[in-house]
Amino acid sequence: MEQNLFTDAENKIQQKEKDFYKEILEKRNRPGLEIDTETTMRGFEEVVVIEPNEVLKKKELPSYSLDYIHEKATEYFKGDTLAANVWINKYALKDSNGKIYELTPDDMHRRLAKEIARIEKKYPEPISEETIYGLLKDFKYIIPQGSPMAGIGNDFQVSSLSNCFVIGHEKAGDSYGGILKIDQEQVQLMKRRGGVGHDLSHIRPGGSKVKNSALTSTGIVPFMERYSNSTREVAQDGRRGALMLSISVKHPDSEKFHRC
């Protein structure tokens, strides 16, 4: 009885969240553009992969030596070598061969402005590239998140333009198929530079009866380790991915979750 009440409450919360995000998408629909909400809500079922060699043929850019980039970036940040190194390692435009195509954040801001202006032209009264560049220049008015800075206008990598994602099932399910589906979604997002969060409250507690050869459930801890291992396995330009797991305080395994 308690388990049914718990599941019903979780289903109502998930439905409310789905309705909320659908409403947000509808409000963001600008004149002249039709948004396929079903496709938008579906997520990453279809992914277009661009081969790096094809991109290089389409777009030839000047590349620079690391020493020269470091010198110019340090000048831009007024002698702050830490800021220069962070920008070079995380946000400067680069390809899989290690070539870097931007000298300073000013080049990055110009790249962002050009790409945003290209999209703006699809809407009524588009904002010009120069106006967008003026808002971004010197980080004066707008400071984008890390993923937009690295990904917008970047034809060398398949990269997310959002920093973080919350994923999960529309309906509560803790079968191995469901658990592996979440694991796959997590990996697909992380390899595109996205951080991922998801809730474990739908997984039945340890000792619960199951109809396979195990006879009882192992609980949430082994699956926490599974998702954590997937995070370690996915490289993001030399750093680990970001993962946040949560669980309801009403879940019987919440204390084990806290101890881990």
Residue 198: which H helix or E strand, with range?
strand 195-199
Q: What is residue 259's predicted lDDT score, i.e. its pLDDT?
A: 78
Q: How far apart are CA 136 and CA 40, in angstroms?
A: 28
Q: What secondary structure letter does DSSP report for 15?
A: H
Q: To which residue do tokens 């945003």 refer?
A: 116
Query: What torsion, rounded to 10 degrees, do the Cα atoms 95, 98, 103, 106 define?
Result: 30
- Domain ranges, ordered by start, for the chain: 52-151, 163-259
Nearest 5°: the CA angle 197, 203, 209 is 170
**Is the Cα dihedral 104, 109, 111, 114 positive or negative?**
negative
DSSP secondary structure of 90-126: HTS-B-TTS-B--SSHHHHHHHHHHHHHHHHTTSSSP
User: For residues 111 and 149, is the Cβ–Cβ distance under 8 A?
Assistant: no
Q: What is residue 203's predicted lDDT score, i.e. its pLDDT?
A: 83
Three-class SS of residue 233?
A: helix
Q: Which of 16, 59, 5 is nearest to 248 (CA)?
A: 5
CA–CA distances in Å: residue 208 to residues 8, 182, 205, 215, 218: 18, 21, 6, 8, 8
Q: What is residue 114's predicted lDDT score, i.e. its pLDDT?
A: 95
Three-class SS of residue 197?
A: strand
Indicate the residue type of 256: K
Q: To which residue do tokens 């997590």 refer?
A: 186
Residues in the chain: 260
b/e per residue 28-46 (b: at least 16 CB within 10 A): eeeeeeeeeeeeeeeeeee
Nearest 5°: the CA angle 156, 158, 164 is 130
Return per-residue pLDDT of the chain as tens, 260 residues. Answer: 544 545 565 566 566 656 655 665 554 444 444 444 444 344 434 434 444 444 444 457 788 889 999 999 999 999 999 999 999 998 999 988 889 999 999 999 999 999 999 999 999 999 999 999 999 999 999 999 888 999 999 988 888 888 889 888 776 667 778 888 888 999 988 888 888 999 888 888 776 766 666 666 777 888 888 888 888 888 666 666 788 999 888 888 888 888 77
Q: What secondary structure letter does DSSP report for 148?
A: H
Residue 103 burial (C-beta neighbours within 10 Å; 0-12, 13-18, 19+)? buried
Q: What is residue 69's predicted lDDT score, i.e. its pLDDT?
A: 94
What token pair was written down for 122?
């699809």
